Amino acid sequence: MKKNKILGSVVLASLLALGVTGCGSSSDTKTVTVQSGANPSITTAKKSSALTTYADIALANYTKALNDAKALNTAIDTFVATPNTTTMDAAKSAWKTSRISYGTTEIFRLSNGPIDSEDEGFMQTWGAPEGQLNAWPLDENMIDYTTDGQGATTSGNIIDTAGNFTPSGSEATTVNATTITKDVLAALNENGGDANVATGYHAVEFLLWGQDQDYNDFTADTITNGATTSGQRSVSDFTSASNADRRKAYLVAASELIVDDLQSMVDAWTAGSGSYREAFLGSGTNAIATNVALKQVFSGMGTFIKSELANERMAVAILTPSEEDEHSCFSDNTHVDIDKNYRGFVNALKGEYTGVSGVSFYSLLSDDTKESVDALITDIDAKVTAMNNAVSSEHFDYQIKDGSDNKANLTNAKNKMRNLGDTMVDVAREFGISLTASDITDDEETELE
C-alpha cells in the first residue's frame, strides 16, 4: 500500500500458521494442504516449472530495473556536474525510463520474498528495501522547500538544515545531516512515521520536478498551471539558489541508494548457494516447499492488484479526489505507474517478459479459468489504454476530478482489477492451493465509501 504498509502480512500470517518460517523450510516437513478440486493435469513437475519461470522473470525484471537505475544515476551525475535545462531534462527522462522497468517488479511484493518480507532473516540478508525504494506519498516538506496555501515558502527541511535533523513524530530520532549521504538518507527514511519519506524514486522525482499543484483551493493554479503541466522546479535551485550544493548531494545519494537496493534484489534472485532463488525453487538448507511457494505467490499477486494497485493507488485518488494521493504526483507519471504495475501482474501470470520463456501459471489452467481471466484482462487492457490516450489532454490528476469525462473509465478499471485479483482464488485452487477472499485482500486497505 502507501508507504510500506503491506509487508506480506497476510501471506506471512498464513504461512506462520502452517509452521513455515520466512526463510522457508525443508519440503518434507512443511506443506500446504492440497485443495479439493485441483486440476489433476498440473503435476508437481509442472508446478516447479511454473515457479522457475516466475523466478526467471523476477531476475530479468530486476536486472532491467537495475540497469535503468544505473542510467538514472549517470544522468543525475551529469546534471549535478553541469546543471542546465538540457541535463535536467535528460535526468527527468532517465527517471521516467527507470519507472517503467521498476513498475513491473512491484508484482513480486507481498509474497514473503526479499523485496518486503517482514521475516528478520530476510531483512538482514536482503534488506526488504521496498519502503526505501518506493514509499509514497511523501511529505515533501521534510526534504526541501515547498509553497504553502498562502504562497509562503516553507523551511526547516533536510536540505536547509546543515546539522542535526529530527523528523516529525514522537518516536523520531535525530540524525546528523551535516553531509548528505546514502546512510543519512536511509536513517531518515520513515524515521518517526510513514510520511517521513526521505529516499527512493519519489524523493528523486520531487527534487527534479518540484511541486505540481493544479487545482483546488490550496493551489488556485499558482504553482503550476494546466491539465498537462507537471512540476516546474527551476534549474537555479541547483545553481544559484540557497542550498544548491545540498540539493545536488541529495540527488546523487538518493539515486545511488536506489541502485544499491536493486542490486540486492538481483543478487537475491540470481542462482547460487544461499540465494533466495535457491530456496524459492526448493533447494538448499532453507528450501521452501513447492506448494508453500505457490501459496505465497498467488496470495501476493492477488493482494497486490486488488488491495494495493486497485484500491490504494487508484481508488483512494479517484474517490477523494486528490492529486496528493496519486502515485507520481510531481512528474504526472501516475498513468505509467498504473499501467506497468498492472502489466507486471499479467507478466507474472502468463510468463511474459523479454528474454524469458517457459511454463507459466496461466498455461496450466483449465479453459474455463483462462476464459474468465482473459475476459478481465481484455477489459482492463482497453481501460488502461484509454487512460493513457487521455493523458494527451489531461494528466491523471485531472482525470480523477469530478466532472472529467475520463473518471468513469478509471473507476471501472480499478473495479475490474479488484475482480482480477479475486480470480487468484480460482487459479490457486487449480494448483491445489486453498485461498480465500481474505487471503488476497489486505485487512489494512483503506476503507472507501
Q: Which of 152-166, 209-223, 372-386 has the lowest mean pLDDT?
A: 209-223
pLDDT tens by residue, 78-134 = 999 999 999 999 999 999 999 999 999 999 999 999 999 988 877 788 889 999 999
Contact 91, 208 (CB under 8 A): yes
Q: What is the pLDDT of residue 289?
A: 97
Q: What is the pLDDT of residue 27?
A: 34
What's the mean pLDDT in 304-312? 97
The pTM is what? 0.91
Q: What is the pLDDT of residue 444?
A: 87
Q: What is the pLDDT of residue 280?
A: 97
What's the mean pLDDT in 143-159? 89
Contact 394, 227 (CB under 8 A): yes
Q: Tell me: pLDDT of 16 over 50.
A: no
Q: Tell me: pLDDT of 33 over 90.
A: no
Q: What is the pLDDT of residue 449?
A: 56
CA 102 to chain CA centroid, Å, is: 8
Count CA atoms closer than 13 A to 316's CA, side-chain side. 18
Is domain 9-440 in CATH 3.40.190.10, yes or no? no
Q: What is the 3-state secondary structure (H, E, C) of 174-207?
A: CEECCCCCHHHHHHHCCCCCCCCCCCCHHHHHHH
Q: What is the 3-state secondary structure (H, E, C) of the chain?
A: CCCCCCCCHHHHHHHHHCCCCCCCCCCCCCCCCECCCCCCCCCHHHHHHHHHHHHHHHHHHHHHHHHHHHHHHHHHHHHHHCCCHHHHHHHHHHHHHHHHHHHHHHHHCCCCCCCCCCCHHHHHHHCCCHHHHHCCCCCHHHCCCCECCCCCECCCCCCCCCCEECCCCCCCCCEECCCCCHHHHHHHCCCCCCCCCCCCHHHHHHHHHCCCCCCCCCCCCCCCCCCCCCCCCCHHHHCCCCCHHHHHHHHHHHHHHHHHHHHHHHHHHCCCCCCHHHHHCCCCCCCCCHHHHHHHHHHHHHHHHHHHHHHHHHHHHHHCCCHHHCCCCCCCCHHHHHHHHHHHHHHHHHCCECCECCCCCHHHCCHHHHHHHHHHHHHHHHHHHHHHHHCCCCCHHHHCCCCCCCHHHHHHHHHHHHHHHHHHHHHHHHCCECCCHHHHCCCCCCCCC
pLDDT tens by residue, 343-363 = 999 999 999 999 999 999 999
Q: What is the pLDDT of residue 211?
A: 86
Cis peptide before 321 (omega within 30 of 0): yes
What's the mean pLDDT in 264-284? 96
Cα–Cα distance for residue pair 211/206, rounded to 1 Å: 7
Q: Is residue 81 classed exposed, middle or buried when 0-12, 13-18 and 19+ CB atoms within 10 A define those classes?
A: exposed
Q: What is the pLDDT of residue 379?
A: 98
Q: Tell me: pLDDT of 11 over 60.
A: no
Q: What is the pLDDT of residue 323?
A: 74
High-pLDDT (> 70) share of the chain, %: 88
Residue 147: beta bridge partners?
A: 153
Q: pLDDT band at 32, cuts 50/70/90? A: low
Q: Is residue 237 classed exposed, middle or buried when 0-12, 13-18 and 19+ CB atoms within 10 A define those classes?
A: buried
Cα–Cα distance for residue pair 103/112, rounded to 1 Å: 19
Mean pLDDT over the full length of the chain: 89
What's the mean pLDDT in 324-330? 86
Count CA atoms closer than 13 A to 254's CA, side-chain side. 29
pLDDT tens by residue, 233-258 = 999 999 999 999 999 999 999 999 99
Contact 258, 201 (CB under 8 A): yes
Q: What is the pLDDT of residue 299?
A: 98
pLDDT tens by residue, 201-231 = 999 999 999 987 654 444 454 555 556 677 8
Backbone angle region of 358, left / alpha / beta, with phi > 0 → left and psi within -120 to 50 → alpha: left
Q: pLDDT band at 35, cuts 50/70/90? A: low
Q: 164-165 and 175-176: which strand pairing?
A: antiparallel
Q: Tell me: pLDDT of 30 over 80.
A: no
Determine the longest span between alpha carbons in the chain, in angstroms: 69
pLDDT tens by residue, 52-64 = 999 999 999 999 9
